[in-house]
Amino acid sequence: MLNVQHLQKSRTLRTSSQPRNDLKKTREKAVNEIPVFEQELWTSKQRQANSIHEVSYRACFKPQLPAYFIGQLTHEGDAVYDPFSGRGTTAVEAALRGRRVIANDINPLSEILTRPRLEVPTVSEIDKRLRELHFSATVATDIDLSMFFHQNTLNEILGLRRYLAQRHRAGHEDHVDRWIRMVATNRLTGHSPGFFSVYTLPPNQAVSPENQIKINQKLDQTPSYKDVRALILRKSMQLQGGIAAADRWRLRTAAESAHFLTGGAAATKEIESNSVQLTVTSPPFLDVVQYAKDNWLRCWFNNLDAEAIAAGITMSRTVEEWDGRMAPVFSELYRITKPGGWVAFEVGEVRKGKIRLEERVAPLGTEAGFVCEAILINAQRFTKTANIWGVGNNEAGTNSNRIVIFRKAAP
C-alpha cells in the first residue's frame, strides 16, 4: 500500500494547489493491492509550459508531467533520466529546473531534437549563420518530393541538408548548426504557413508521397514557395520567446554535463549504478504509433535509415510481448536508480481502453526490485490533439495520464 506518511516526510507526492495530506482524500481504488489516486495533479496556470518545448513529436507527453515529478522528488543538481526520451521533454524540463540530464532513445532523432534546446544559441547567432549559407540553384535529390515542396523551396532544403551533412562529416558542426538542423527537421511538413511544405498532416506525422498527392488533389492545391531561412528564424524566435536569462543559463549549464545515449533502454552501461534520483518516462505503447511512417521524411533530411531505426523500437502486438521487452528495462532502471530514488512510468489506455498497461507495469517494476508506491491518474479535460492524430479520445490511443510510481528502497 502507498505509504503516505513516508512520502510526506521525504519529497512528498502531492497536488501543488492543495494540502500535503490531500492524497488521503482523493477517490481511491486498488490494482493488485496498489492504491490508485485520481485527481488533478497540476493547476491550469501550471499547464503553461516554457516555449522551448514547442517541438512536435508523435506520442509525447506534456512538459507539466515531468515538471510535477521533478519538482516533487528531486533537488537541484540531482540526475533526472528518460530512457525513452522522444522529443526530450523530460530532459529539457529537468535542465530548466537545474537538474542534471541523462536522455536515451533508440531513435537518433531524439538527440537531434533535444541537445540544441539545451545549447540554445542566440537569435542573432542563428540569423548570422543563416545569412552565410549559399545554396546552388539546383541540387540533385534521390526521391521525388515535388508533391510537398515548391521546386525553389526544395532546392533550399537540399542545400541546407548538404551543408549540414558536410559540417557533420568534417567534425565542424557546432551548436548553431545543431539548432538550425533541429528547427529545419521540425519545419519540414505541417498544416500551417509556418512549414516548408504545402498543407499536409501535422508535423509529428509525415504522410507518404502517394497520400500527399491525394491530399493535393482533394484540396486542389499546389506547393507555393517558402523561404527556408525566414521560417527557421521565425520558429527560432518563437521557441526562445519565453526563455528568460536565468532559463538560458540553466539550459547551457545542463548542456555541459548532459549525457545523450542512442540505444536500447535495457542496456545503458554508460550510466553509473545508483546514480539517478528520478526517471520520468513514457514507453512505446504496443503498436499504437508507427514511428517509421511518421518520421520517414525527418530521417531522410538527417540521412538516417527510418526502417532500421523502427526495427529496434518496441512495437509489440501483444501485452505478453510488451511485458517481455519491458522487464529488462526495469532491471536496468533498478541498477541505475539511487537508493531512495524514484521512477515515474507513464502509460496509457490502449485498444479502446480494454488494456490498461499500468496493471502490467506494476508487477514488472516490483519483480525488478522496486517498491510500487501508487498509481496516479491525472484528471484532465481532453483537447483536440488526439483527433489530429486520427484517434478519438475515448476510442483508441491514450486518453489519460496514468503514472505508476516506484521507489528503490534505501539499504
Q: What angle do CA 100, 106, 108 make, to 5 degrees?
A: 80
**The three grid cell numbers given for residue 178, joined into one nine-digit string:** 545543431
Q: What is the pLDDT of residue 1?
A: 32
The C-alpha cell at 96 is 530548466
**Distance from the first to the final alpha carbon of the chain:** 20
CA 109 to chain centre: 10
Question: What confidence score (pLDDT) does residue 25 get?
Answer: 36
Q: What span, in angstroms and rounded, lies between the C-alpha atoms of 89 and 280?
A: 10
Burial of 202 (0-12, 13-18, 19+ CB in 10 A): middle
pLDDT of the residue at 31: 56
Query: Residue 254: is it exposed, middle or buried by C-beta count within 10 angstroms (0-12/13-18/19+)?
Result: buried
The alpha carbons of the chain give a radius of gyration, in whole angstroms, of 22
pLDDT score recorded for residue 284: 83
Instruction: Collect contacts of 324-328 with beta carbons under 8 A, ≥24 apart.
Output: 325/266, 326/283, 326/360, 326/361, 326/364, 327/364, 327/367, 327/368, 328/266
pTM score, whole prediction: 0.87
Residue numbers of the chain with a pLDDT score lower than 70: 1-32, 42-48, 59, 137, 286-290, 292, 314-315, 348-354, 379-400
Q: How far is CA 55 from CA 51, 202, 280, in A?
A: 9, 12, 19
Give the number of other Cβ atoms within 10 Å of residue 45's Cβ. 8
pLDDT of residue 2: 35
The fold adopted by the segment(s) 4-115+245-289+315-407 is Rossmann fold (3.40.50)
Q: Taking each helix axis from N to C terminus, what angle separates 228-239 and 175-187, rounded to the nearest 10 degrees? A: 100
Say how far apart CA 238 and CA 322 lie, in whole Å. 38
List pLDDT tens digits, range 157-168: 999 999 999 999
**Amino acid present at 192:** S
Exposure string over 297-312, b if 16+ CB within 10 A, otherwise e: bbbbbbebebeebbee
What is the bridge-based pairing of β-strands 371-378 and 355-356?
unpaired
- Per-residue pLDDT tens over the stretch 389-404: 233 333 444 446 789 9
Q: Please give the grid coordinates belonging to residue 86.
A: 522522444
- Tell me the DSSP string of 241-281: TT--HHHHHHHHHHHHH-EEE-S-TT--TTSPTT-EEEEEE
Q: How many residues does the chain have?
A: 411
Looking at residue 317, its pLDDT comes to 77
pLDDT value for 12? 39
- Domain ranges in the chain? 4-115+245-289+315-407, 121-239
* Cell (9 digits) for 287: 503498436
